[in-house]
Amino acid sequence: MIHPTAIISPKAELGANVSVGPYSIIGDHVTIHDDAELVSHVVIEGPCEIGKATKVLPFASLGQSPQDLKYKGEDTRLVIGQRNVIREYVTMNRGTVGGGGLTSVGDDNLFMAQTHVAHDCIVGSRNVFANLASLAGHVTVEDDAILGAFVGVHQFCHIGSHAFIGGMSKIVKDALPYARTDGTEAKCYGANTIGLRRKGFSNEAIRRIQQSFTLLLNSNLNTTQALEQIKSELAGSPEIDYLIEFIEKSQRGVTK
């Protein structure tokens, strides 16, 4: 299942049923697990690990050195989980020593064409990155988020689970979980109700989330006051407890 035009380092490790298409290049210290598919013209440099049944389409470049002027050739890694779909011209870079040395991607994500995951990013599972969505360094994206086309996320920002980020948005603060965030000067527009229903959230859970966002966005309370009221009136469910924790741990402030 290795095309004769592919170039594979003897220091790379390929699992069972791995398919490597024409003109692909696999460098030193790359591990590709079972049933992964590199369609064609894929370049992977190590140290890098590609999870089981991940599919990589033409001209993707994975595991190249970080685009950070402080990087001086240190041994850092990119680790990609299982069953991801990585479309054309996607780039994902290894980490830096200053950021922990690891760029990490979870399972079952879709990265559409020309998306970018920079050094030291931590991406969870079941996320969708539409065309040309880009993460600067040290960004965390949790689970089940959707980033629209041309979204740009500033370094060190945090995207919460089940967040929906509208196309062409500029994210310079943390994007709240369960929320719709949109705009070149991004603003939060409340609960992502349709997305939550599609993900199987109960009506009661959605009601609590909506009430929390009413307090955060549409009351005369500041964020600290709104959080106190959310804690007193709505805390106790996993969704609301996670929302409270996300806001309290934010280092850059949250987009409101």
Cα–Cα distance between 127 and 231 in angstroms, integer?
28
pLDDT of residue 208: 98
Average model confidence (pLDDT) across the chain: 98
Interval 154-193: pLDDT, tens: 999 999 999 999 999 999 999 999 999 999 999 999 999 9
pLDDT of residue 251: 96
Instruction: Please state the rounded mean pLDDT for residues 57-70.
Output: 98
Cβ count near 226 (within 10 Å): 21
Which DSSP helix (H) or strand (E) runs through 207?
A: helix 203-217
Active site residues: 119-120, 137
Instruction: Please state the rounded mean pLDDT for residues 4-20.
Output: 98
CA 109 vs CA 53, 95, 113, 145: distances in Å: 12, 19, 13, 10
Interval 112-161: pLDDT, tens: 999 999 999 999 999 999 999 999 999 999 999 999 999 999 999 999 99
- In this structure, what are the phi and psi dihedrals at residue 176, rounded to the nearest 5 degrees? -65, 145
Which structural domains are found in the chain, ordered by start? 7-138 (2.160.10.10), 196-249 (1.20.1180.10)
Cα–Cα distance between 97 and 158 in angstroms, integer?
20
Q: What is the percentage of the chain residues whose pLDDT exceeds 70?
A: 100
pLDDT of residue 94: 98
Quick one: pLDDT band at residue 102, thresholds 50, 70, 90? Answer: very high
Cα–Cα distance between 198 and 129 in angstroms, integer?
18
pLDDT of residue 154: 98
Interval 222-238: pLDDT, tens: 999 999 999 999 999 99
Cβ burial of 102 (10 Å; 0-12, 13-18, 19+) is: middle
Q: Give the pairing of strands 25-26 and 43-44.
A: parallel
pLDDT of residue 78: 98
Q: What is the percentage of the chain residues whose pLDDT exceeds 90?
A: 100
pLDDT of residue 6: 98
pLDDT of residue 54: 99
Cα–Cα distance between 245 and 249 in angstroms, integer?
6
